[in-house]
Structure 1
Amino acid sequence: MISDQTRAAATIEEVAAVAGVSRSTVSRVVNGSTAVSPAAAESVRRAIAELNYVPNRAARSLASRSTLAIALVVPEDTSRLFGDPFFASIVSGINARISRSDYVLNLIMASADPGDKTAQYVRSGAVDGAIVVSHHTSDTFIDRIAAAVPVVYGGRPVRSRGGDYYVDVDNVAGARDATAFLVGRGRTRIAAITGPPSMPAGVDRAQGYRLAVADAGLTPAPVAEGDFTVESGADAMREILATGEPFDGLFVASDLMARGAMQVLAAAGVGIPDEVSVVGFDDSPIALTTEPQLTTMRQPSFTQGERMADVLIARLAGNEPPEVTILDTELIVRGSA
């Protein structure tokens, strides 16, 4: 028999299940929002009492204090964070919005952490909420963070629990439009370098590519997988070339991977765009450093960062921002296609 002392602490999902309401409703009650019906609020309070659920933010509210700190949790290593212009832009957007508020931003790198240290820090009451950027299927510790404080995700969460708040771009439509652009350029054998299947952006951009190929009735061309780094793009390009299958177009799911792929194509004597047209994704500063300059899908990463921070600040104020915000992408045409 499990004693009260050894029983695992109740989660916000368990409270929601017992109360018969959504996770977001429990979060609003815990954070003192009045935007909940009296009946739902009473059900949540009864469930909290029954399960002995005491979230950190509720404890701080009882003490009439707030940390006025927000955690930016990035489950990546430092070389990835500081080497990818996407992160620089999105973090700049987050910081710009938070600088206009009373909050300060705490950056947490969680790549080499199995999760306990990061989750314990957030759950200890050190921050009022968290923004999570670039999460993977393996990052299960994020669930423990989301059970303790309000969270907003950059991109669709890898494990949807219902009531999740996130800001994303339309990755499927963006990749579909990028590939369709190559079709419009007369390309009939379009290869692809996709992102990792452990990340929703990787999955969605691969789906958009496949939809565009199917829309055009084209014969499938080689596809290789990367991890959004220059090195993985180069490796994937070598893998595609090694198949010996012909292709005259290439969709790449990030600008960094496109740079690596274009370097390999150039070394192999393949002309861009004469022999192979290339389209990337991001419109990061990297797109201006390739030879020729990269045609790419622009995602408004600075705006995405601002919106993420805005949604979290609204939640912490007890307001009801939209749970899902989807931003559009835009094709930027340059010399590679």
Structure 2
Amino acid sequence: MGALPGSFREVLMSEQPTLAQVAAAAGVSPATASRVLTGSVRVSTSTRRQVYDAVSRMGYVRHRAPRGSAARTAADGVTAVICDHLPRLFSEPYYARLLSAAGNVIAEHGTHLMVTTVTPNSSTLPALSGAVLIVGARERHPLAIKLSTSGVPVRNIGRPPHDLKLPYADVDNLDGGRQAAEHLLLSGRRSVAAIGGPPSLPAARDRLDGLVRTLQAAGHGEVPVAYGDFTAASGTHAMQWLLRHAPGLDAVFAASDLMAAGAIQALRRAGRRVPADVAVIGFDDAPVARHTVPAKAAAEPGGAAVANTSTAVWMDRIAAIAGSSSVMGLRAHLDEAVRQDAANGATPLTIQVVIYDLPNRDCSALASNGELLIAENGLNRYKAEYIDPIATILRDPAYANLRIVTIVEPDSLPNLVTNLSFPKCAEANSTGAYVEGVQYALNKLHAIPNVYTYVDAAHHAWLGWDSNFGPSVNLFHTTVAGTTAGVDSVDGFIVNTANYSATKEPHFTIDTLVNGTSVRQSRWVDWNYYVDESSFAKALRDALIAKGFKQGLGMLIDTSRNGWGGAARPGAASTSTDVNTFVNESRVDRRTHAGNWCNQSGAGLGARPAASPEAGLDAYVWIKPPGESDGASSDIPNDEGKKFDRMCDPTYTGNNLNGNNMSGALGNAPLSGRWFSAQFRELVQNAYPPLS
């Protein structure tokens, strides 16, 4: 719910009141009103209060700068005045997101953003130059009143408190609360409670009012409400209060995502399942919502059916290890796994962690480029700042009863076989950084008894040709054999990570002939030796064992997004005698080209995670969380090193890697790893097997 500051709706005042009108409303002369507004000490306290009250009621704004000072304009810069305590400026994600968005827009106009904080009740005007953004001002904040009459160009972020008629920008918080209520009602929830934000903040009041009015209009009675301060801790405390006073609740609306995350923790500690027992809906689209189990899935239509399905935790940057006040770090995820394990009986709980931060990461694609570069001491940083801290945490005895499965560096080693024409891949090869980095990771992880390692091995439409398959087997072997424990340092390999290739093509195999012509000659198969991931994984396992890996080598297939169900799924083999027509009408994988990898249109959720689903396979797993974007469909500035890749652009007509076919990507996609609601809904709709 809600929106980023970049989408704020600008609301500008018209017909501003005059100083004479303010004076008349206050019962004083214009001269006296002027002395109050310019800070003269020759005015009584009661008169000063009368004038400020009139200013507040009428929304008076002085447009002329004080005598003797230069007129302040946006060209002098913009100062964001945060009406909150300094520590919250750095711990509250809302401020970081707002200031980042504001700073980008202001920079585009050739000026700069400055930030200062004042305590929530301060009336001391800080030194300012240029225009001012007021952020976080609560009811009757004296500084907001003073700034409104200071002659400085002012905009308030959010509807101003106590009807102070400052120009402002805001989202429609009231309608957001209404939408939340409607979603809960449509999903069948009948006992809805709420965790409101500080009542002195208009945004908090509007969110709660929108919810309560809609519920009451639908026939609900009194809505139990507890209040927090937009922090996760306050959400936990508020949820505990609600459980004591409204134990029959089956849904909770929280006025911020952080409070929703705290509420989920309290519900779990109380033995309530989310969303099976209690649905939780937040507000703000904060980063924590992408890392909160069940994350965004439960809030989507049909998402409750898979919201509790296990997916992997992606450690895709150094900062992800520690996490923050808004994002769960590795320890927080493991602590949650321990809590769930306690209710899991004698069977150890499995948690999957993706190791994904090699220098020059994903060297042939742009959408998921990482933070480390080989040329900037990236390999040493990878070892010391990334792998070592992860290994230290995983080695903690507190997690010894967990089964920790690590997925080691997706899209790394295969790039050294097929994509050396890309400069960053060539650098990774010539310096040995990829191989050395993977070996270092395996040495550290394999040494931990309850950690299991699976190295990424791409997919059939990448390595399925004999010119790629054999060299990949050799590279995998030499890399792993070079570790301290040799081939024993890996438990297996994984295919189709974050990809869309079908687990099985049910209507033909690589041996199928069409009117005497092999399907290998079709444009879709393109002389590949495999048509699906199951046959590829088993063949790769056999080849790796023949090369020297142990007989018990395991294989995983990521089935999170390769279901390809829905109306477009063929129900039987084609009757055509033309090999291209036969394959196109028979294949369940409906991509325009098997090399397309970004936010693929028409895809569906695949087989649910399962152990030993077929001979030679350890498991089907969901490594890529369904609903998380593969990459932005247009250029989006960011500080995560993620670039715009044309393969994520639905208008892109392709390149030699995908046979110059259309990209097949969905439009309006966010950055990789961000929640992509439209894609998730399509994945649910096209799930195969279908969701019950």
With structure 2 as the length reference, what TM-score do the two structures score? 0.35
2:183 is the alignment partner of 1:181: yes
* Equivalent of 1:59 in 69, 75, 96: 69
Structure with the higher fraction of residues in helix conformation: 1
Matched residue, 1:142: 144
Cα offset for 1:65? 9.6
Q: Is 1:292 aligned with 2:327?
A: no
Q: 1:231-246 counterparts in 2 under 5 A?
A: 231-246=233-248
Amino acid corresponding to residue 154 of structure 2 in structure 1: V
Letter in 1 for 2:163: S
SS in 2 for 1:106: strand
Q: Tell me if 1:23 matches 2:60.
A: yes
Judged with a 3 Å threshold, the aligned counterparts in structure 2 of structure 1 residues 201 and 283 are, in CA distance, closer, same or farther, namely same
Report deviation, 1:98.
Answer: 1.2
Residue 96 of structure 1: aligned partner: 104
Please tell me whether residue 7 in structure 1 is matched to residue 48 in structure 2: no
CA contact (8 A) 1:178 1:251 kept: yes
More strand by share: 1
Q: Partners of 1:147 and 1:110 in 2: how far apart?
A: 18
Q: What is the identity, as a one-letter code, of the residue corresponding to 1:89?
A: R
Q: 1:332 to 1:251 in 2, by over 3 A?
A: farther
Residue 308 of structure 1 corresponds to none
Q: 2: CA distance between counterparts of 1:57 and 1:81?
A: 34
Contact 2:121 2:142 in 1 (8 A): no
Closer, same or farther: CA 275–58 of 1 in aligned 2, 3 Å:
farther
Aligned equivalents of 1:181 and 1:143: distance in 2? 38
Displacement, 1:94?
0.8
In 1: Cα distance, 2:220 partner to 2:81 partner: 41
Q: Is the 8 A contact 2:159 2:202 kept in 1?
A: yes
Letter in 2 for 1:157: P
Matches within 5 A, 1:94-243: 94-111=102-119, 114-116=122-124, 119=125, 121-122=126-127, 126-137=128-139, 139-148=141-150, 149-162=152-165, 164-243=166-245
- 1:87, distance to aligned residue in structure 2 (A): 1.5
CA distance in 2, matches of 1:66, 1:97: 12
Show the 5 A alignment for 1:57-96.
59-61=69-71, 68-96=76-104
SS in 1 for 2:163: coil
Contact 1:287-1:296 within 8 A present in 2 as well:
no
Match of 1:266 among 253, 265, 268: 268
In structure 1, the partner of 2:285 is: 283
Q: Percent identity?
A: 32
Decide whether aligned partners of structure 1 residues 228 and 296 sit closer, same or farther in structure 2, where only a CA change above 3 A counts: farther
Distance 2:677 2:213 in 1: 21
Once the two structures are superposed, residues 210-249 of structure 1 have per-residue CA deviations (whole angstroms, 9 ceiling, x without a partner) of 1121122123342111111111101100100111531111
Which secondary structure does the structure 2 equivalent of 1:87 belong to? Answer: helix
Q: Partner of 2:221: helix, strand, or coil?
A: coil
SS in 1 for 2:162: coil
1:247-288 deviation per Cα after TM superposition (whole angstroms, max 9, x unaligned)? 111111100000000000011110111111111001111001
Give the TM-score of the pair, scaled to structure 1: 0.69
Contact kept, 8 Å, 1:67 with 1:127, in 2: the verdict is no
Displacement of 1:296 in angstroms is 6.3
CA apart distance, 1:77: 2.0
Q: AA paired with 2:158?
A: G
Equivalent residues of 1:155, 1:167 under 8 A apart? yes
2:511 maps to: none
Q: How does 1:310-329 map to 2 (within 5 A)?
A: none
Aligned residues: 260
Cα distance, 1:242–1:332 mapped onto 2, change above 3 Å: farther
Indicate conservation of the 8 Å contact 2:77/2:129, yes or no. yes
**Structure 1 285/7 Cα, relative in aligned 2: closer, same or farther at 3 Å?**
same
Separation (CA, whole Å) in 1 of partners of 2:95 and 2:299: 17
CA contact (8 A) 2:74 2:131 kept: no
**AA matched with 2:193:** A
Aligned amino acid, residue 134 of structure 1: G
SS at match of 2:109: coil
230, 235, 253: which one aligns with 1:251: 253
State the Cα deviation string for residues 110-161 of structure 1 (Å, max 9, x = none).
Answer: 1277232xx1x34xxx412210111112521221122111210100000334
Secondary structure at 1:179 match in 2: helix
Question: Aligned letter for 2:60?
Answer: R
Listed as ranges, the gaps of 5+ residues in structure 1 are 31-54, 298-330
Q: In 1, are the aligned partners of 2:60 and 2:148 still within 8 Å (CA)?
A: no
Counterpart of 1:52 in structure 2 is none
Contact 1:188 1:219 in 2 (8 A): no
Q: Quick one: structure 1 residues 146 and 57, their matched pair in 2 at CA, closer, same or farther if it must change by over 3 Å?
A: farther
2:42 aligned partner, one-letter code: R
Q: Which has the higher contact order (CA 8 A, sep 6+)?
A: 1
**Cα distance in 1, alignment partners of residues 251 and 67 from structure 2:** 52
Cα distance, 1:332–1:253 mapped onto 2, change above 3 Å: farther
Q: Distance in 2 between matches of 1:177 and 1:167?
A: 20
Distance in 2 (alpha carbons) for counterparts of 1:296 and 1:91: 28
Taking the aligned partners of 1:101 and 1:231, their CA distance within structure 2 comes to 39
Q: Which letter does structure 2 place at the counterpart of 1:60?
A: A
Take 1:200 and 1:215, find their aligned partners in 2: how far apart are those partners?
22
